[in-house]
Structures are given as structure tokens and as C-alpha cells.
């Protein structure tokens, strides 16, 4: 949770994106949803080529942030296939999709008014 450490929400979002990038995540987008969402301030959305990589990214984010005394409030694996993984750090939520599920849910268009803070292909 952000409140338990010195990281601000945007810094935590960038840290999550950095960790994911090290694990070969693709299409990483950080969006500022403050004022648009009642549950979080920033969303980090990314793609992983397959379910195994998606799980590896999730595990790496959790492990590295845990070493920095940052723990998620909640994590969720959508369905048995792990095509959509969610980590909730309060002010920052991470969504990891396989490319097919990201297109299917059209998640990037969920908040058209949201400001893109970072976009890495």
C-alpha cells in the first residue's frame, strides 16, 4: 500500500512499469484516472505474450515491491487461464493482459478522458 512507504502514487506506478519492462512486458500504459475513478488514482496496463509471462510479471512486481515494504491490498487472476491479472496497491492498480484479452475487453478505451502519463511500446 502506498501509505506504508515513501513512494507517491505516480512514483509507484512508474516503479511497477519499470519492473514489468524488465520482465519483457509490452504496451505499457500508465493512465491518470484521478477524478474519473473512485477506486484508484493511476492504472498501469500492460500486455504479456502469454499466460506464463503474465504470471511471471505479476510475481516479480509483488516480490520486488515486497522487498521495498510495499504490499498489494488485493490480487486477482481472472479465470483459470490467467489472461487478466490484477494487483491493487490502493492508489495504483496494475492490469496484466494477454494481447487477445486486452483487445477483447478493449480496456484501453475504458477511460477515454484519462490522461496518459506514460506509454511504452
Q: What are phi and psi of 85, to 5 degrees?
A: -115, 140
Scan for cell 494487483, then name that residue: 87
Scan for cell 506504508, then name that residue: 4
Contact 31, 116 (CB under 8 A): yes
Contact 84, 97 (CB under 8 A): yes
Q: Given this model, what pLDDT does residue 121 score? A: 77
Q: Any idea what the Cα angle at residue 49 is, between residues 113 and 26, rounded to 5°?
A: 45
Scan for cell 510475481, then name that residue: 59
Per-residue pLDDT of the chain (121 residues; tens, 9 = 90+): 444 444 799 999 999 999 999 999 999 999 999 999 999 999 999 999 999 999 999 999 999 999 999 999 988 765 566 789 999 999 999 999 999 999 999 988 888 899 999 898 7
- Cα(78)–Cα(86) distance, integer angstroms: 8
Q: What are phi and psi of 18, to 5 degrees?
A: -65, -45
pTM of the model: 0.89
Q: Given this model, what pLDDT does residue 74 score? A: 86
Q: Any idea what the Cα angle at residue 30 is, between residues 64 and 119, rounded to 5°?
A: 110
Answer CATH for 2-120 from 3.30.70.270, 3.40.50.300, 3.30.930.10, 3.30.460.10: 3.30.460.10
Amino acid at each position: 500500500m502506498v501509505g506504508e512507504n515513501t513512494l507517491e502514487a505516480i512514483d509507484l506506478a512508474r516503479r511497477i512499469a519499470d519492473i514489468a519492462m524488465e520482465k519483457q512486458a509490452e504496451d505499457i500504459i500508465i493512465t491518470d484516472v484521478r477524478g474519473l475513478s473512485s477506486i484508484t488514482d493511476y492504472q498501469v496496463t500492460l500486455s504479456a505474450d502469454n499466460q506464463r509471462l503474465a504470471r511471471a510479471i505479476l510475481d516479480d512486481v509483488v516480490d520486488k515491491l515486497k522487498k521495498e515494504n510495499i504490499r498489494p491490498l488485493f490480487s486477482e487472476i481472472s479465470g483459470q487461464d490467467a489472461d487478466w491479472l490484477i494487483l491493487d496497491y490502493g492508489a495504483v492498480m496494475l492490469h496484466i493482459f494477454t494481447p487477445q484479452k486486452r483487445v477483447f475487453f478493449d480496456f484501453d478505451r475504458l477511460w477515454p478522458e484519462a490522461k496518459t502519463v506514460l506509454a511504452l511500446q
